[in-house]
């Protein structure tokens, strides 16, 4: 089970400091939408250059101009880029085509999706990696509920990443759902980053050993 560290609402200096403190405990590095809007593709290039062996996720949240934005992200060094599930099918298939040519991957962000039919459609388009996403603004109204996972019922072909205010307290319940990747942001970036990342890694490893 991967830990994807989400770097968002941070300065460039904070991003690099946190990465230095957590690199041994994380697997995937997500450069968040806010950070990309602030620093552009330059920070994607810099992070990939410094951490070439980590999977780099550019959280572009693309919803149009899929081919162009996928190329932007991949040429800057991203291994994975994100597209919103509500995007036109053509946007998604264009991105998949670019990803296939460059041996990269597309992650579909399911923020706002409640219809299982859309999951079936995404499967049909060739998507194999999705992100269950309990949004930042939604988190102000309470913690992620188990029913967010019901979208995946009857859709076992997907690799699944999960995001949404996950912290040391909520991690055990998330782990039980066995996602491929756990996305953690402020629980690490706004705390003692090294200690929290190490603790989360330890919790995941303990679960995996016992199962």
∠201-207-209 over CA atoms, to 5°? 100
Query: Higher pLDDT residue, 147 or 94?
Result: 94
Look up the pTM and report it. Answer: 0.94
| pLDDT, the chain, mean | 93
Instruction: Check residue 150 and report its DSSP letter.
Output: G
* Segment 181-200, tens digit of pLDDT: 999 999 999 999 999 999 99
4 neighbors 183 (Cβ within 8 angstroms): yes
Query: Given this model, what pLDDT does residue 148 score?
Result: 76
SS3 184: strand
pLDDT tier at 157 (50, 70, 90 boundaries)? Answer: confident
The pLDDT assigned to 142 comes to 52
- Band of pLDDT at residue 145, cut at 50, 70 and 90: low
> How much of the chain exceeds pLDDT 90, in percent?
85
- Cβ atoms < 10 Å from Cβ of 5: 28
How does residue 141 score in pLDDT terms, banded at 50, 70 and 90? low
Burial class (CB in 10 A: 0-12, 13-18, 19+), 18: buried
Catalogue all structural domains in the chain, each as residue range(s) with its CATH number.
2-210 (3.20.20.70)
Q: What is the mean pLDDT of residues 143-157?
A: 74
Q: Dump pLDDT digits (tens) for 36-93.
A: 999 999 999 999 999 999 999 999 999 999 999 999 999 999 999 999 999 999 999 9
Closest by CA to 83, choosing from 56, 110, 123, is 110
* pLDDT tier for residue 136 given thresholds of 50, 70 and 90: low
């Amino acid at each position: 089970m991967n830990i994807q560290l989400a770097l968002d609402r941070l300065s460039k200096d904070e991003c690099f400091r946190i990465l230095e403190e957590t690199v041994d405990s994380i697997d995937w590095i997500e450069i968040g939408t806010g950070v990309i809007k602030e620093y552009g593709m330059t920070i994607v290039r810099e992070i990939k250059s410094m951490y070439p062996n980590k999977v780099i996720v550019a959280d572009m949240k693309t919803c149009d101009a899929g081919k162009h934005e996928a190329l932007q992200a991949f040429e800057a060094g991203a291994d994975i880029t994100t597209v919103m599930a509500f995007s036109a099918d053509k946007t998604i298939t264009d991105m998949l085509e670019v990803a296939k040519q460059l041996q990269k991957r597309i992650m579909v962000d399911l923020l706002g999706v409640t219809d299982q039919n859309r999951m079936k459609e995404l499967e049909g388009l060739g998507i194999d990696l999705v992100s269950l996403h309990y949004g930042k603004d939604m988190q102000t109204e309470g913690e992620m509920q188990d029913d967010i996972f019901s979208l995946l019922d009857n859709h076992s072909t997907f690799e699944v990443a999960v995001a949404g205010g996950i912290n040391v307290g909520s991690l055990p319940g998330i782990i039980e759902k066995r996602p491929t990747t756990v996305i953690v942001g402020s629980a690490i970036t706004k705390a003692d980053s090294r200690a929290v990342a190490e603790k989360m890694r330890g919790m995941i490893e303990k679960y995996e050993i016992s199962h």
